[in-house]
Amino acid sequence: MKISIDNLHKAFESRIRLGIMSALSVNDTLDFNSLKEFLDVTDGNLASHIKALEKEAFIGVKKSFVNRKPNTKYFITETGKKAFDNHLKALEQLIKSQK
């Protein structure tokens, strides 16, 4: 028997990152405060996990101005969508192996 953890992506180990990816999978774009509210985390914590996912090119940023105020929105990339999907499939496999 070999437990298949190889298909679990290290970038998604943190539950906050799982949460970010989940939220961005079901919403086209979300701004920082909405993400923060969804996940109930601190600014610093959220920012560092967003940065890590951006570095992997799993999420992207859209910067614009709304009423002259800067507005930053995050979205999931195609790469991110595929990687997250594979990760969830691997988790599903692991859960199935327990039943």
- Judged by the rule CB under 8 A, the positions of this chain that interact with a second copy are 1-3, 5-6, 8, 10, 13-16, 18-19, 22-23, 25-26, 37-40, 88, 91-92, 94-95, 97-98
**Whether 31 contacts 47, CB under 8 Å:** no
Under 8 Å between Cβ of 61 and 80: no
Q: Which is nearer to a second copy, 67 or 98 (CB)?
A: 98
Ordered DSSP codes for 47-69: HHHHHHHHHTTSEEEEEEEETTE
Q: How far is the CB of 17 from a second copy (least distance, A)?
A: 9
Pick between residue 8 and residue 52 the one whose CB is nearest to a second copy.
8
CA 32 to chain CA mean position, Å: 13
Nearer to a second copy among residue 10 and residue 68 (C-beta) = 10
